[in-house]
Structure 1
Amino acid sequence: MTVPPMPSEPAEPIEATEPPRPERIEASGIEPDLLGEPWVARRIPVTPAPEAAVGDHAVLVHQRQAGGRHDRAVLHLHGRSDYFFQTHMAQAFLDAGYEFYALDLRACGRAGIGLPSPHDVRDLRVHAEEIRRALRIIRSEHGHGEVVLHGHSTGGLQAVIWAADHPGTVDAVVLNSPWLDLRGTALVRSYGSALVDLISRRWPDRVIDDPGASRDKPDVYVEALHRDWSGEWDWDLRLKPFPAFPVRAGFLAGVRRLQRRVHHGLGIRVPILLCCSTTTGSPDADLEEAKRSDVVLSVEQMIARAPFLGNDVTVRQIPDGVHDLSLSGPRAREEYFAAVTGWLAARLG
């Protein structure tokens, strides 16, 4: 992501098309999920906050029989302009003896349907409320004794901040290409961040990066992965859209504040596994390069930031991995799942 010298004008509100709402089946807020059986979605009310886009709930997704099969569990946090749909990833954890839960955070994914600016959260720490409530459901209601926090991209940044701020609440952290720094030169990261901070104080709604402003075809990452173009995955383009939701100054300033916290050291006390590709894709990557490298973030920055997370950090690079390692080609994603489940078996027993 690059920072322009001046902000663009605010984008028009995005008109969200709501998918058919499933029939409510329980008064507790559990409904059949859009993924179909055996997946269900549980609405988690949250307190509206000025640091977040308008939104009053998050959504916890899990299989209907969760709570009775495995003592251990995984809680997954999605990336920006994303939502949980990777059921094959969930199956890898289930096969390894971990019940799987995914949290669509407030104003994001399932919880962002109908909002004028999904994912526009000015301080990611506001998500602590729904993470806390999700963990309470997983541990207290469903009876899981050990919980692993799994985060992708922005969700990876969210995961390490949670683990640092709430010691003792999770037993391990697994990161899938975490967003621990702003991609770009040192000049962009320093002066660009200062500019974003300045803009955000007065114009938090200003668009810093609008992926849809200058092109009418998918970016190479989407083209490489989605079934409508050259990929094998069929995610809902309303919830993980092309173009991606615009990045606004308030959101990016909030991300940079947390990334600076990472740079100062988090001191996380539980074991951490950081997985990423072996290769950072070039800014003008072609389709073939996009299918075997991370064209979204810098692999080198992730590795450089790993020692700042805690004293027990393992880094595992996946050849031919893409930004979301779970969406890589067959060999790379199987290596990713094997690396994660093998590491968990070694560290948690």
Structure 2
Amino acid sequence: MAWRTDDLLGAPFERASLGPATLVRLPSSPAEVAAARAVVLHVHGYNDYFFQAHLARELAAAGYLFHAVDLRAAGRSLRPGELPHYVTDLREQATDIAAAAAVLRTAFPHLPLVVHAHSTGGLTASLWAHAHRHATGTAAGPDALVLNSPFLDLPGSALARAVGTPVLDRLALVRPQTTLSHGPSWYATALLRANGGAWDFDTALKRPQGVPARAGWLRAVRRAQARVASGLAIGCPVLFAASTASSHDGPDNPLVGSTDTVLDADQITALAPRLGRDVTVLRIAGGVHDLSLSADGPRRAYLDGMLDWLAAHLSAHPGAGTGAGTGAGSRTATEERPA
């Protein structure tokens, strides 16, 4: 691949084209590759892209080779004339995950592959992992899957979701680009350092004004969520992480910095056992929607919980620096970490 310095994060981060997607990496020395525990692929969510340099450095310091993929029509991969994040089938973006995973398995065939996926990326990665659970070689699914507040269900009442989905199906077939909702993301607004938050990001790629939710995209999401609700059989261990609390996304919400204001954390957590046979649930007190962007205490709890889980579950893998296996039997364990 033709790697060059990433113009968003700057050196040492590098990027390379991956068809309609973009692969980003934090380069590693030969000694770091030789001692690595695993290679990590990060997958972003909706109205998002990879900018979490601190996450990359945290994982690298713990012995992981870090990469991220900006999916088609998102972040670094957004082309002129494209509607941001717009796809009509999440399998389109799953193809990008598969392409990135194949590159990493080719480059590091001796290492286990960890996929760390957030929000809509977590939904897409879950379906990809399920679909590739029996594949081998460079087409194989992950050896471990970390889901950071995955978009497994729409917030709101079951009645509203049940009534709205058939209407959405009909609309998406005839007018797929119809905007169903569009408003500011107070969550993104609060994260931005210029607004008093802790993070810097490109506001053309993660927009405080939000990205319209269009009928075709939302239909794709609802179809994917229906597959999760019916039960998946992801073959690798899964860490499902979410905040312990949710609240509304609004400028007057004093809890915007300590709760999930995008999804209903309890609602998505209830679906965690349907992902596979080996699922660990990690709830983070004080966590926001992207747990890796939480305040210092909750963020540390999330990172430590993830690293502890990875160390335990990769310890028996033949290529891992400290070893993990996929576990055996059906189990769902739950842990809550205070900030």
**Letter matched to residue 151 of structure 2:** W
Size of the aligned set, in residue pairs, is 305
Q: Which residue in 1 is equivalent to 2:128?
A: 162
Q: Does the alignment pair 1:207 with 2:170?
A: no
Q: CA deviation at 1:220?
A: 2.7
Q: Secondary structure at the residue paired with 1:288? A: coil
C-alpha contact 2:188 2:206 (8 A) present in aligned 1: no
Give the partner amino acid of 1:179: F
Which residue of 119, 122, 146 corresponds with 1:174? 146
Question: Does the aligned pair in 1 maintain the 2:41–2:116 contact within 8 Å?
Answer: yes
3-state secondary structure, aligned to 2:235: coil
State the partner residue of 1:183: 155
- Is the Cα contact below 8 Å between 1:175 and 1:274 reproduced in 2? yes
Cα deviation, 1:195-242, whole Å, max 9, x if unaligned, reads 111100100010011125xxxxxx431232111112010110011112
What residue number does 1:272 align with? 238
1:1-349 paired onto structure 2 within 5 Å: 28-33=1-6, 34-45=8-19, 57-65=20-28, 69=33, 70-167=36-133, 168-211=140-183, 219-282=185-248, 284=250, 286-349=252-315
**Between the two proteins, what is the percent identity of the paired residues?**
42
SS in 1 for 2:313: helix
Conserved in 2, the CA contact under 8 Å of 1:277 and 1:321? Answer: yes
Q: Answer yes or no: is the 8 Å Cα contact 1:71–1:143 preserved in 2.
A: no
Conserved? CA contact 1:224–1:287, under 8 Å: no
- Which one is further off, 222-231 or 61-70? 61-70
Report the residue type matching 1:184 in the other structure. G
Between the aligned partners of 2:115 and 2:221, the Cα distance in structure 1 is 19
The two structures have a TM-score, normalised by structure 1, of 0.84
Normalized against structure 2, the TM-score is what? 0.86
Gapped regions of structure 1 (runs ≥ 5): 1-27, 46-56, 213-218
Partner Cα separation in structure 1 for residue 76 and residue 216 of structure 2: 22
Deviation at 1:169, TM superposition (A): 2.1
Q: What's the offset of the Cα at 1:285?
A: 6.9
1:211 partner letter: G
**Secondary structure at 1:148's aligned position in 2?**
strand
Q: Give the whole-Å Cα distance in 1 for the aligned partners of 2:111 and 2:81.
A: 36
Deviations 1:122-153 (A, max 9, x none): 10101232222211211112445200111100
Q: Which amino acid aligns with 1:193?
A: T
- Shift, 1:29, TM fit: 3.3
> What CA distance in whole angstroms lies between the structure 1 residues aligned with 2:286 and 2:232?
30
Q: In 2, Cα distance between the equivalents of 1:225 and 1:337?
A: 18
Helix, strand or coil at the partner of 2:255: helix
Q: Deviations over 1:87-113 (max 9, x none)?
A: 111112112211111000111111014
Give SS of 1:173's match: strand
**1:285–1:189: structure 2 CA closer, same or farther, 3 Å change rule?**
farther
Q: Look up the equivalent residue of 2:181 and give its one-letter code.
A: D
Structure 1 residue 267: Cα displacement: 1.2
Q: Indicate conservation of the 8 Å contact 1:84/1:104, yes or no.
A: yes
Q: Which runs of 5+ in 2 are unaligned?
A: 134-139, 316-339
Instruction: State the AA in 2 paired with 1:314.
Output: T
Residue 301 of structure 1: SS of its match in structure 2? Answer: helix
Contact 1:223 1:230 in 2 (8 A): no
Structure-2 change in CA distance of 1:337 and 1:306 (3 Å): same
The RMSD of aligned alpha carbons is 1.6
State the Cα distance separating 1:273 from its structure 2 match: 0.5
Q: Partner residue of 2:326?
A: none
Cα displacement string for residues 245-270 of structure 1 (whole angstroms, at most 9, x for unaligned residues): 21100000000000000000001121
* Residues 189, 208 of structure 2: 8 Å contact kept: no
Distance 1:246 1:312 in 2: 35
Match of 1:24 in 2: none
Kept in 1, the 8 Å contact 2:97–2:125? The answer is: no
Where 1:101 maps in the other structure, the secondary structure is strand
